[in-house]
Copies of this chain bind each other. A is one copy, B any other.
Amino acid sequence: MKHVLPSGLTLLLESDPHAQSVAAGYFVNTGARDEQPSEMGCSHFLEHLMFKGSEELDAVTLNERLDDLGGHSNAFTSEEATVYHAAALPERLDELLDTLTHLMRPALRDADLQAERGVILEEIAMYAEQPGVCVVDELRGDYYGQHPLGHRVLGTVETVSALTQEQLARNHRERYGAQHVTLVLVGAFDEQAVLEWARRELASWPAGRLTPPVPAPQPPAEGTFRHLHDPSLHRVQVALTTPGLGVRHPLREAAALLADLLGSDGGALYWALVDTGLADMADLAHLDYRDSGVFEGGFSCDPERLDAVLSAYLNVLSGAQDLISEAAVRRAARKAAVATLLRAETPQGRLFTLGMEYLAVGEVRSNAELAARFTRVTAADVREVLRLCPLHPVTGVILGP
């Protein structure tokens, strides 16, 4: 079900004749971390411009066609991926593929760029009002320093204001080349027919440019806490991070389960901080990137309780060893495995899992295999994660009045 076209573009086709829909997505192996620092935000800016139409279709027609498909269509940009996806009833497969493929060949008109710049500056202004978002941006700046994993996906007012049509077109040319693009289809469709369509319609997809990977980020040698004051706030937001494992590490799933024991909805941080009324939220997740990973989390609380909540949070982290038992790991593993299985109940859910996993590790993994990777994790594996990643030093940012 994996096919590489002569151009280098990859197809992943996972058909299921019992499905009631078909979902398709172009998964582009590029994101904010692949940007030049002076062009920060250009991946996300490009994602917006893709919806402005191709040489053949103007923006209104393109968006009407997406609407006409009836299913949910959208796009997102992250540190390492840019994804365009849509779902439709099986009888609309031809329009689905045709419309999504038009989306991938944007005209990148200068007039659209100028108008869309205003839209993105509004988006930046909207998030600048959200302390929970700002504090994470600041945290990643502190943790990654000049490393591009610290890039803000939206860019900054300065970089977005300065981006030119030429820069965006170059980024599209280099980073949307065939070797960076994977078209994934899941659901009710005929694999042979789609393969023939792809060989015909995607044959001339231009090659991009392969950029050498930048070195992995170096975690700070010592923990720091930076306190930012904004007198207009009534609550305090705290974000913190500590080294984790990269996406190709064999203990990646064990790291996710450790984060679950600590930081999920019914995890230790919830019981210690939220259930006690100390904080309105408290969480921790394991984020894994191509070459590195972090445990990242935080909480939000009344400023008067900051010291107490922060030490309660750090106490939970330093007591992580005591949470690891076979029973607790089994429960977390089962939850992760069932979540994986249930996510794949719809073609669209399976599309994301299949496509993102392929971008991350370069392998096609069945849903059963993904679930089994969780159920195979033992308490010893989770303890080994804790040995490799002792949850300190901690880098943190405090944003409050």
Contacts and interface: CB of A to CB of B under 8 A. Distances in A.
B118 A277 contact: yes
A198 B358 CA distance: 45
Contacts of A158: none
Given A18-B18, A232-B232, A119 B277 contact: yes
B125 A70 contact: no
A126 B338 contact: no
Contacts of A331: 64, 67-68
Given A88-B338, A345-B345, A129 B67 contact: no
A115 interface: yes
A121 B278 CA distance: 10
B125 A302 contact: yes
Q: Which among A119, A122, A337 has the greatest number of chain B C-beta atoms within 10 A?
A: A122
A281 interface: yes
Contacts of A133: none
Contacts of A302: 122, 125
Contact of A300 (B126, B235, B276): B126
Task: Bin chain A's interface residue count.
Answer: 35 or more
B334 A280 contact: no
A130 B280 CA distance: 13
Contacts of A337: 70
A21 B68 CA distance: 31
A123 B281 CA distance: 8
A280 B115 contact: no
Interface in A108-155: 115-119, 121-123, 125-126, 128-129, 131
Q: Which among A71, A128, A337 has the greatest number of chain B C-beta atoms within 10 A?
A: A71
A130 B235 CA distance: 11
A118 B302 CA distance: 12
Interface string A228-248: 000111110000000000000
B346 A266 contact: no
A347 to B, nearest CB: 8
Nearest to A124: B280
B235 A233 contact: no
A342 interface: yes
A209 interface: no
A175 B41 CA distance: 52
Contact of A125 (B68, B115, B235, B341): B235
Nearest to A327: B64
Contacts of A280: 122-123, 125-126
Interface in A15-32: 18-21
A181 interface: no
A274 interface: yes
A89 interface: yes
Contact of A122 (B20, B121, B277): B277
Interface string A264-290: 001000000011111111000000000
B129 A339 contact: no
A156 interface: no
A226 interface: no
Interface in A57-79: 63-64, 66-72
Closest 10 pairs between A and B when the two form their complex, measured CB to CB: A118-B277, A232-B232, A70-B338, A126-B280, A122-B280, A345-B346, A70-B334, A119-B277, A70-B335, A63-B266
23 contacts: A20-B345, A69-B338, A70-B334, A70-B339, A71-B339, A87-B342, A88-B338, A115-B275, A115-B277, A116-B277, A118-B276, A119-B277, A122-B277, A122-B278, A122-B279, A122-B302, A126-B281, A126-B300, A128-B234, A232-B232, A342-B346, A345-B346, A345-B347
Given A70-B335, A129-B233, 9 more contacts: A67-B331, A72-B342, A89-B341, A118-B277, A122-B279, A129-B235, A342-B348, A345-B347, A346-B346
